[in-house]
C-alpha cells in the first residue's frame, strides 16, 4: 500500500478516507491528555466540569467521533451484532428484522445483516471475516445443519439461534412454540369441516416449523378420531406459487370445495386462496383457509386471512436481547426461549 497519511496534512491517500479528527487532535485542541478526552466521553464524572467543558467544545469544534475500530480493538467491543437469515426478503423476515433492529438500537448496538444463508445457513468465507467484527451472532436456522454448527461454535462467539432448538451449552435460542396455535387452528377448521377434508400445506419438508406444525396438525386430527392419511399433509416451499400449485392440483383432483386448509405460512395460504378463486370457489363459503405467521399480508388481502399469529418482531427483539445479555455476561446460563402462537380468526375461515 502507498503513503498512509500520517498526520493531518495532505490529501488522503488512495482509497482511504475516513475523515475525522482523532482523540489526539481533540486533546491538543483542549490542551489536555488523550486520557482525559477519553474520560470525558466515557466516564464524565471523573473529570472536572471546567476541563470537561473545554474538551466538549473541542470535540464539537473538530467534529470528533471515536473510531469504532480502535474502540473495538482496545477491548470494549464494537457494539456490533451479526444477524444471518435465510433471506431478507418478504414480510416474514422484514418483520423479524424490524424487531431485531429496534431492540438493537435500544441497547446501543448495531446490526450487521446478512442473508448469506442461501446455502441453508452456511456462512461463506466473507461472513467469516465479519466474525472478528461482531460481538455476537444471531443465526436463523430453519433446517438442521451440523456443519455450520461446528464452525460457529469454533468461533467461540456468543450466539443465539433463531427458530431452532439446540442443546449446545452456552448457546441461547429463541424459537416458536407451534403447538398451541396449530392445535387451535386445526380445531377451528374441524369445527366446520370433517377431518378427512382437512389439509396441511407445508413449507420445505425439513423445515423445523413445518415439521412441528404438521405433527401437531396430525395429532389434533387423531384426537378428533381421524388419524390423518398420507395425502393430507404435503410439503413444498414457503411461497405463494407452491400454495397455488397445490390448490390447482387438488382442484383438478378431488376438488377443493368443502375442504379446509391449514397452510404453514401466509404466503402458501394466499396461493391456495388464489387457486380457489381461479376455480370460481368462494372463500370462506366453499373453502376454509388458515395461514400461519400473521404477516401483514393476512390483513391486506380480501377476504382477510385467518392465521396463526407468530410474534415475529418479538422473536427478533428477544434474540437481540438475549444476545446482548450473553455478550455482556458470557457465564450466563443458556436460555431457551419459546414464544407462543395463537389463532387469529378473520374472514377466510369464518
Partner that binds at residue 194, options DNA, a copy of itself, none, CB closer than 5 to 8 Å by kind: none
Is 47 a binding residue for DNA by CB under 7 A? The answer is yes
Looking at the Cβ atoms of 102 and 224, the one nearer to a copy of itself is: 102
Torsion of CA 339, 343, 348, 349, to 10 degrees: 150
Number of other CB atoms surrounding residue 248 within 10 Å: 18
Shortest Cβ 152–DNA spacing (Å): 18
* Residue 122 interacting entry, from DNA, a copy of itself, none, C-beta within 5 to 8 Å by type: none
Size, binding site for a copy of itself by CB under 8 A: 75
Task: Name which of residues 196 to 235 contact a copy of itself (CB under 8 A).
Answer: none
**In this chain, which of 23, 221, 319, 324 binds DNA, going by CB under 7 A?**
23
Report, in Å, the least distance between residue 124 CB and DNA.
Answer: 18
Taking CB under 7 A as the binding criterion, the range among 19-27, 85-93, 160-168, 284-292 that sits at the site for DNA is 19-27
Within 10 angstroms of residue 215's Cβ, the number of other Cβ atoms is 15
Q: Which is nearer to a copy of itself, 19 or 253 (CB)?
A: 19
Q: Is 39 in the site for DNA (CB under 7 A)?
A: yes
**Which one of 7, 8, 10, 18 is in contact with a copy of itself (CB under 8 A)?**
18
Helix/strand/coil (H, E, C) string of 158-189? CEEEECCCCCCCCEEEEEECHHHHHHHHHHHH
CA gap 319, 85 in Å, rounded: 12
- The binder of 33, among a copy of itself, DNA, none, by C-beta within 5 to 8 A per type, is DNA
Of the residues 28, 56, 79, 205, which one makes contact with a copy of itself according to CB under 8 A: 79
CA atoms within 13 A on the CB side of 71: 16
Does 22 engage in binding with DNA (CB under 7 A)? yes
C-alpha distances (whole Å) from 103 to each of 85, 100, 221, 316, 323 are 17, 5, 39, 8, 11
Angle between helices 34-42 and 49-62 (to 10 degrees): 90
Q: Residue 179, class by beta-carbon neighbours within 10 Å (0-12 exposed, 13-18 middle, 19+ buried)?
A: middle
Contact 152, 159 (CB under 8 A): yes
- List the 198-201 sheet strands across, edge first: 233-234, 198-201, 259-263, 287-293, 306-309, 342-344
Residue 53 touches which of a copy of itself, DNA, none (Cβ within 5-8 Å per kind): none
Closer residue to DNA (CB): 29 or 91: 29
Site membership for a copy of itself, residue 91 (CB under 8 A):
yes
Interacting positions 21-50 with a copy of itself (CB under 8 A): none
| Burial status of residue 5 (CB atoms within 10 A of its CB: 0-12, 13-18, 19 or more) | middle
The total number of residues written for the chain in this structure: 350
- Interacting residues with a copy of itself between 281 and 320 (CB under 8 A): 296-297, 300-302
Nearest to 232 by CA among 204, 186, 257, 198: 198
59 binds DNA (CB under 7 A): no
Using CB under 7 A as the binding rule, whether residue 24 contacts DNA is answered as: yes
Residues of this chain that bind DNA (CB under 7 A): 1-2, 4-7, 20, 22-24, 31-36, 38-39, 41-43, 46-48, 50-52, 64-67, 69-71, 73-76, 132
Amino acid at each position: 500500500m502507498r503513503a498512509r497519511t500520517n498526520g493531518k496534512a495532505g490529501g488522503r491517500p488512495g482509497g482511504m478516507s475516513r475523515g475525522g479528527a482523532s482523540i489526539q487532535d481533540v486533546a491538543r485542541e483542549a490542551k489536555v491528555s488523550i486520557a482525559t478526552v477519553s474520560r470525558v466521553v466515557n466516564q464524565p464524572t471523573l473529570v472536572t466540569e471546567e476541563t470537561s467543558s473545554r474538551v466538549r467544545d473541542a470535540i464539537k469544534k473538530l467534529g470528533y467521533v471515536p473510531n469504532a475500530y480502535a474502540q473495538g480493538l482496545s477491548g470494549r467491543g464494537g457494539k456490533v451484532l451479526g444477524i444471518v437469515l435465510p433471506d431478507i426478503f418478504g414480510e416474514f423476515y422484514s418483520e423479524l428484522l424490524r424487531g431485531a433492529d429496534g431492540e438493537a438500537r435500544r441497547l446501543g448496538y448495531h446490526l450487521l445483516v446478512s442473508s448469506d444463508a442461501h446455502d441453508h445457513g452456511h456462512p461463506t468465507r466473507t461472513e467469516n471475516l465479519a466474525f472478528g467484527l461482531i460481538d455476537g451472532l444471531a443465526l436463523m436456522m430453519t433446517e438442521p445443519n451440523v456443519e455450520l454448527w461446528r464452525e460457529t461454535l469454533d468461533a467461540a462467539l456468543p450466539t443465539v439461534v433463531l427458530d431452532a432448538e439446540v442443546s449446545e451449552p452456552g448457546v441461547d435460542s429463541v424459537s416458536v412454540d407451534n403447538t398451541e396455535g396449530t392445535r387451535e387452528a386445526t380445531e377451528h377448521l374441524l369445527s366446520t369441516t370433517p377431518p378427512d377434508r382437512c389439509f396441511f400445506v407445508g413449507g420445505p419438508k425439513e423445515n423445523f416449523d413445518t415439521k412441528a406444525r404438521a405433527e401437531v396438525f396430525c395429532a389434533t386430527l387423531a384426537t378428533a378420531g381421524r388419524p390423518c392419511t398420507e395425502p393430507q399433509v404435503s410439503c413444498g416451499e414457503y411461497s405463494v406459487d407452491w400454495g397455488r400449485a397445490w390448490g390447482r392440483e387438488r382442484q383438478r383432483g378431488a376438488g377443493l370445495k368443502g375442504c379446509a386448509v391449514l397452510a404453514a405460512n401466509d404466503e402458501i395460504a394466499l396461493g391456495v386462496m388464489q387457486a380457489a378463486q381461479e376455480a370460481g370457489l368462494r372463500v370462506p363459503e366453499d373453502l376454509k383457509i388458515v395461514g400461519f405467521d400473521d404477516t401483514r399480508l393476512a390483513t391486506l388481502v380480501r377476504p382477510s386471512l385467518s392465521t396463526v399469529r407468530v410474534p415475529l418482531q418479538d422473536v427478533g427483539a428477544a434474540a437481540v436481547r438475549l444476545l446482548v445479555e450473553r455478550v455482556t455476561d458470557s457465564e450466563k446460563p443458556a436460555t431457551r426461549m419459546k414464544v407462543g402462537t395463537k389463532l387469529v380468526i378473520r374472514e377466510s375461515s369464518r
